[in-house]
Amino acid sequence: MRFLFRPPADEAAGLLALPWGEPLEEWPDDQLLEVPQRGISRHVVRFAASDSTVYALKEIDERLARHEYAMLTDFEAEGLPTVSVLGICVDRPNDLPAILVTRFLEYSMSYRYLFSMRRVDHTSEQLIDTLVELLVRLHLAGIFWGDCSLSNTLFRPDAGSIAAYLVDAETVERHPSLSPGQRRYDVELATERVAAELMDLEIGGLLPDDIDPIEMATVLPQRYEALWDEVTREEVLRPEEQRYRIADRLQRLNELGFAVEEVELVSCPDGGVKLKVHTRVAESGQHRREFFRLTGLEVGEQQARRLLNDLRSFRAWLEQRDGRMVPDTVAGHRWVAEVYQPVVEAIPRDLAGRLAPPEIFHEILEHRWFLSEQAGRDVGTTAAARSYFATVLPQTPKEMTTPSVAAGGLT
């Protein structure tokens, strides 16, 4: 047996104690964790913990495991939204297939779980949009997915919206760039799979009555075309409108969560200018970057948008109180220490892990708004947090995003 992984080595060392010589299907439950409501999968996929990190293990043909390992490694290095890969186990005894080990994507859920949960009112349209955004991002990077589906994507709540991550890269192909035909084919495959998955949800009684699976799936190619056009379209600009049209376009792309790497302007014989934008594919988002610069915290794009507003009002309050300007990075660090961290530290231990801390903070801001409306005055973050921990957070099912120990479990 051989275990191939990238350093740091200490992480993988803890996993060596697992029974790699046995078929994954037969591993004893006390070595594994239970993860609720996963997508449809062909392979044996199981979950194990080591040193308080959870890993997903997929038993799969060695050639595919090596391919997926290489692809996921590249995607992660490029900043694409994917699960993070640890390594592969090959040359197992008795010709057992290889095992691909990825790090469990924290606070993520499968589409089945999103639909089975009544608390969060995520629409299927939102789910399609976030899947389309992921596909466009991959296509911009020259990646043909070949198996885009809801099952092969993981979803993370992001301040009222949802972010999508690629989880299954077995079929991906990397090209310098994709032809329109390749992209169309990938979109067709995705549409078929999503339709089948939505039908499956319907059969299971998980789809709201007013949603027709086929109709919903046909939204996918339309949304894809619209977004692809938005991020790649060339525009011809007249000289007098150049300045604001370029700014306008960049602003729109930023709002869609795409960062522009380079703007190309080509002069046309008629005096006009052709505008081309080269979109950066990496998961970035202007709010995430700005929030990271100010606080050093990594959060989702929509979370960053909300938290930045809170940070700005904190800064304004500081300036007014002290009667002097406060540099934004100083305000950022003070906001973390005086506003954000105390709330995160106050999360009751038995409720920790149900949602990511920035998502909890965002929900507390919503809750504060709600309570303040009722009270006719601002109740403040501390009181809102207390009420939220007592009444709202406990309603988030424990098993929503956190794997639970099947029995006994590992340390």
- Contact residues for Mg ion, defined by CB under 5 A: 41, 152, 168
Stretch that binds ligand ATP, among 36-44, 194-202, 343-351, 374-382 (CB under 6 A): 36-44
With binding defined as CB under 6 A, does residue 334 bind ligand ATP?
Answer: no
Query: What residue 216 binds from ligand ATP, Mg ion, none (CB within 5 to 8 A, per partner kind)?
Result: none
Shorter beta-carbon distance to Mg ion: residue 168 or 197: 168
Query: What residue 174 binds from ligand ATP, Mg ion, none (CB within 5 to 8 A, per partner kind)?
Result: none
Q: Nearest residue by C-beta to ligand ATP? A: 41
Spatial contact of 109 and 401, defined as CB atoms under 8 Å apart: yes
Shorter beta-carbon distance to ligand ATP: residue 67 or 367: 67
What DSSP string runs through 332-353?
A: HHHHIIIIIHHHHHTS-GGGTT
- For ligand ATP, the binding residues in 77-96 under the rule CB under 6 A are 83
With binding defined as CB under 6 A, does residue 111 bind ligand ATP?
Answer: no
With binding defined as CB under 6 A, does residue 404 bind ligand ATP?
Answer: no
Query: Other CB atoms closer than 10 Å to residue 54's CB: what's the count?
Result: 17
Spatial contact of 193 and 147, defined as CB atoms under 8 Å apart: yes
Query: Other CB atoms closer than 10 Å to residue 383's CB: what's the count?
Result: 15
| Neighbouring residues of 122: CB distance < 8 A, sequence distance ≥ 6 | 114, 162
Nearest approach, Cβ of residue 148 and Mg ion (Å)? 10
Distances (CA, A) of 317 to 10, 326, 341, 377: 46, 10, 18, 17
With binding defined as CB under 6 A, does residue 110 bind ligand ATP?
Answer: yes
Shorter beta-carbon distance to ligand ATP: residue 101 or 385: 101
| Neighbouring residues of 160: CB distance < 8 A, sequence distance ≥ 6 | 302, 362
| Neighbouring residues of 111: CB distance < 8 A, sequence distance ≥ 6 | 39, 127, 150, 151, 153, 155, 197, 201
What is the rounded distance in angstroms from the CA atom of residue 279 to the CA atom of residue 174?
Answer: 18
Query: What residue 104 binds from ligand ATP, Mg ion, none (CB within 5 to 8 A, per partner kind)?
Result: ligand ATP
Stretch that binds ligand ATP, among 33-41, 70-78, 274-282, 358-366 (CB under 6 A): 33-41
Q: Nearest residue by C-beta to Mg ion? A: 168
Residue from 349, 182, 318 nearest 190 by CA: 182
Task: Give the footprint of ligand ATP on this chain (CB under 6 A).
Answer: 38-39, 41-43, 45, 56, 58, 83, 102-105, 108, 110, 147, 151-152, 154, 167-168, 170
